[in-house]
Amino acid sequence: MSGFPKNDVVKIVVDTNILFMAWHNSFGKAAIALDKAREGKIILYAPDSVKEEIVRVFKRHGQTEEQIESFLADFPIIWIEKDIYSIFLNKTKVKHNADKPVEALSLALGCSILSADNHFNVCKNRIDIDKLLRDF
C-alpha cells in the first residue's frame, strides 16, 4: 500500500497478536496503532474468531469474565460475525487455519490486515505496523 491520505479514515482488519501486544506493552507500537483508532483515524475490524481466541487464552490464564470484558471494551474494534466473511474463506492464501478468518474479512471489506504474524506475508494487503505509524 502506498501512503494513506492524511484526511481519510483508514479501515484495517486487526489480528489477535496486535491486541495482545498492545495489552502487554501500553507504550509499544501496537498500542500506538490502537490509539489512532481511539482518535478516529483508523477503523478497526476483527472477525469473531479473534474475540473467541482472546477469551480462550485469557480464561486459560485465569482471567475472570469481568477482566476479559474490560480488556475487550478497551479496544475500539468492530466485531464481525462469520456470515459476513465466510464466502471469502476459500479465497484466502494464508495457510494457518486460525488466520483464515482475518484474511477473509479483509477481502470481504476490501481493507488491509494489521498483524505481526509472518503467516500473513503471503497476503498483498498486509500492512506493516511501522508503515502504518509512519503514515500518520
pLDDT for 7: 55
Strands 77-80 and 42-47: parallel
Q: Is residue 111 a part of any domain in this protein? A: yes
Q: Which residues pair with 42 in a beta bridge?
A: 10
Q: Is residue 126 a part of any domain in this protein? A: yes
- Asked if residues 100 and 13 have their Cβ atoms less than 8 Å apart, the reply is no
Domain range for 56 is 13-134
Q: Is residue 84 a part of any domain in this protein? A: yes
Q: Which residue type occupies 49?
A: S
Q: Is residue 4 a part of any domain in this protein? A: no
Q: What is the CATH number of the domain that holds 52?
A: 3.40.50.1010
Q: Is residue 6 a part of any domain in this protein? A: no
Q: Give 107-112 contacts, CB < 8 A, sequence gap 24+.
A: 108/80, 108/84, 109/11, 109/13, 109/45, 109/80, 109/85, 111/10, 111/11, 111/12, 111/13, 111/45, 112/1, 112/10, 112/11, 112/12, 112/13
What the block records as the C-alpha cell of 37 is 483508532
Regions of the chain where pLDDT drops below 50: 1-5
Query: pTM score, two decimals?
Result: 0.88
